[in-house]
Structure 1
Amino acid sequence: MQYQKIGHTDIEISRIILGCGSFGGIGSAPEFFGQGENEEQSHEILDAAVRLGITTFDTADAYGGGRSETYIGNWLRKCDKIVRNNIVLSSKTYNPMFIGDSKGLSRERISEKIDGTLKRLGIKQLDMYLSHEMDVQITLEETLSCFNDLQINGKISAYGASNISCEQLEKSISICDNLNLHRYEWIQNSMSLLNYREAERILQICSKYGLGFTPYSPLAGGWLTGKYQRDVNYEPGSRMTLRPEPYENYVQHQNSIFDGLNSMKKISKERFGDISIAGLSLAWLLSDCRITGIVIGPRKPEHLKPIEEALNIHLNETDRIDLANLFPVL
């Protein structure tokens, strides 16, 4: 495993971050609360991740309606002190935790939700806290000041933002400088071989200000694993059957994507000993030194295998360019 400090902090994370969005649900969607992995299955994935050297877990208060945080907290209580002390926890807030719950990033709501997160995880201080989405109904000044106060008061060690635009990030940095607030220390947006061009702009800003970057969906919802085939129905229980909306753009360009995947298999066999498409896709991200860590959301312990492949190969700049050029501009 590889490890790296994030932003300007002393927080050292594993470059593979375990995404826990399927623990007790399917992401933040209330209609799927209680589905996904149950607590026993979630603990098996956590155990397997730790054996691989993963120390950093990514969750959110709305994942499974609080179940994800609860499962992680219960798992931590079973661990010995050495394991617990090595774990870095990251959680997020914005989305409703139950039908009828509020959403957003007001000072009042964040202050309430962080207490619930700490209680469910069984900790006094959260290592990393993110806004899950940006709240256009609340001023950035209010949100940033609240996160800053949580850090000063010791409830969180550092904070960041997920699903933020370049304009919002630049404005947030300016506000923090003007008000003498702690800045975001890292950004967590979607990035993979299928949608890296938009993320590239954010990466450039992060590099400029020394911020970390921890992309999620590095396998594009399964499109970069080979699980979806041309002219074959989607596998029951897959993201494309449960929650296809985020991937509609891939469906529209599926022929070009499938052509790219076939070419990717040839490159893998010729240059890297025929490792999996998923492993090569992860290695492509890890080979970018600007990326602090990538968030992987396995549904089973065996889904961690591509991580081992990715950590054991090296991509040069020619490899990176050749792989990127296989797919359409999305």
Structure 2
Amino acid sequence: MEYTRLGETGLEVSRLCLGCMNFGTGQPWMVHDREQSRAVIDRALELGINFFDTANVYSHGESEEILGSALADADRSRAELVVATKVYGRMHEGPNGEGLSRKHVLEQADASLERLGTDYIDLYQIHRWDDGTPIEETLSALDRLVDDGRVRYVGASTMPAWKLMKALSRADVGNHERFVSMQCEYNLVDRHEEANALPLCADQDIGVVPWSPLAGGFLTGKYERDEDPDSGRAATDEFMAKRFTDENWAVLERVRDIADAHDATPAQVALAWLLHNDIVDAPIVGPRTIEHLEDDAGALAVDLSDGELERLADPITPVWNPAIGDV
């Protein structure tokens, strides 16, 4: 495994982050078998992955519980591991059940700590921007968590660049903890962040941790242009349906060709394209099986030429669509 620093911090993270959204029973396509989930986490540790990402809303806390239990039984020292989780989404009905108010942030941090079975969260991220709460209130609450030792670093996820810059500016002016990382949807066919947050992250030395690096499985090559998906997530999920465009199929064709030339899989080439990008610290992979995880890890050995990188990127012209921030 290779390691890098997260943004401009001194925090060392593996070049692949294990995303844990698939662990739990929140959706039919998730891994409902906890032993299977733990097996994937255990294999990730064996491969040298030390960076794990989850959120309180993933299966309403189940994902955090599964990850925490697996890490508690692991041979790796807690000091080596980087555990990331998120706050914003609705965790109970009625008032104060969601958002980034001081009350919700502090209460959910404690709840996440309990489910994860740890004394501190390495990277605590706001899952979305909260238009109903002043950003200064949220930053102050995050300061409290860092000062108390419950959180080490704070990060953000999925928002327009101007909102991220507003948060960074208010942090600088108010001497608050600054977001050190940004999670955003980024892969070979979802390139909109190149026209939104990525230039800002480069300018401000913010670490980039892309989610959906394989476009929900589209870039693994498991779908065919002339075949309608009749089962699974792609058959019912609007998030997946947006993948099936002429431009995206053109990208996938090039991914397959380059994969054949490197004796690699399409998933490995798609991940390697991200890993070759200097702005990217650690793509968040979400394998549901050990086989998928091992295939993802093989991307670290795929060396793409400048010409191949350009060929892969050529079919897509990045354009920012503000509605994407609500995905």
TM over 0.5: yes
Which piece of structure 1 moves more, 195-204 or 309-318?
Answer: 195-204
Q: Are 2:89 and 1:95 aligned?
A: yes
Change (3 A) 1:98 1:229: farther
Aligned to 2:303: 314
Displacement after TM superposition at 1:99 (Å): 5.7
Kindly state the Cα deviation for residue 264 of structure 1 after the two structures are TM-superposed.
Answer: 2.6
Check 1:326–1:309 CA distance in 2 against 1; reply closer, same or farther (3 A cut): farther
Distance 1:98 1:241 in 2: 30
Gaps of 5+ in 2: 320-327
Q: 1:227 aligns with which of 206, 222, 227?
A: 222
Report the CA distance between 1:38 and its aligned residue.
Answer: 2.4
The answer to whether 1:36 aligns with 2:31 is yes
- What does 1:63-142 correspond to in 2, within 5 Å? 63-80=58-75, 82-98=76-92, 102-142=97-137
- 1:163 CA displacement: 0.7
- Kindly indicate whether the alpha-carbon contact (under 8 Å) linking 1:69 and 1:121 is maintained by their aligned counterparts in 2: yes
Deviations 1:60-114 (A, max 9, x none): 011111001111111122223x343322100001112356682211110001000
What is the aligned partner in structure 1 of residue 322 from structure 2? none
Look up the match of 2:155.
Answer: 160
What are the superposed Cα offsets for residues 262-308 of structure 1, whole Å, 9 maximum, x if unpaired? 233223333x2x31111100000000122111100001111113323
SS at match of 2:129: coil
**Partner of residue 12, structure 2:** 12
The residue type paired with residue 311 of structure 2 is: D
Answer yes or no: is the 8 Å Cα contact 1:33–1:64 preserved in 2.
no
Match in the other structure for 1:266: 257
Percent identity between the aligned chains? 35
In angstroms, what is the RMSD of aligned CA positions? 2.0
Mapping of 1:192-211 within 5 angstroms?
192-211=187-206
How far apart, CA to CA, are the structure 1 residues paired with 2:59 and 2:204?
Answer: 34
Structure 1 portions without partners, runs of 5+: 27-31
Q: Is the 1:189–1:199 Cα contact (8 Å) retained in structure 2?
A: no
Aligned to 1:29: none
Moved over 6 A (4+): none
Q: Relative to structure 1, is the Cα distance of residues 241 and 96 closer, same or farther in structure 2, using a 3 angstrom cutoff?
A: farther
Q: Is the 8 A contact 2:189 2:251 kept in 1?
A: no
Length-normalised TM-score, structure 2: 0.91
2:289 corresponds to 1:300: yes
Match of 1:245 among 238, 249, 262: 238
Q: List per-residue Cα deviations over 1:238-269 (Å, max 9, x = no partner).
A: x3135x12234323x2x332233223322333
Per the alignment, in what secondary structure is the counterpart of residue 57 of structure 1?
Answer: strand
Conservation of the 8 A alpha-carbon contact between 1:151 and 1:158: yes
On the 8 A contact 1:24/1:33 being kept in 2, the answer is no
Q: What is the CA-CA distance between 1:155 and the residue it aligns to?
A: 0.9
Equivalences, count: 318
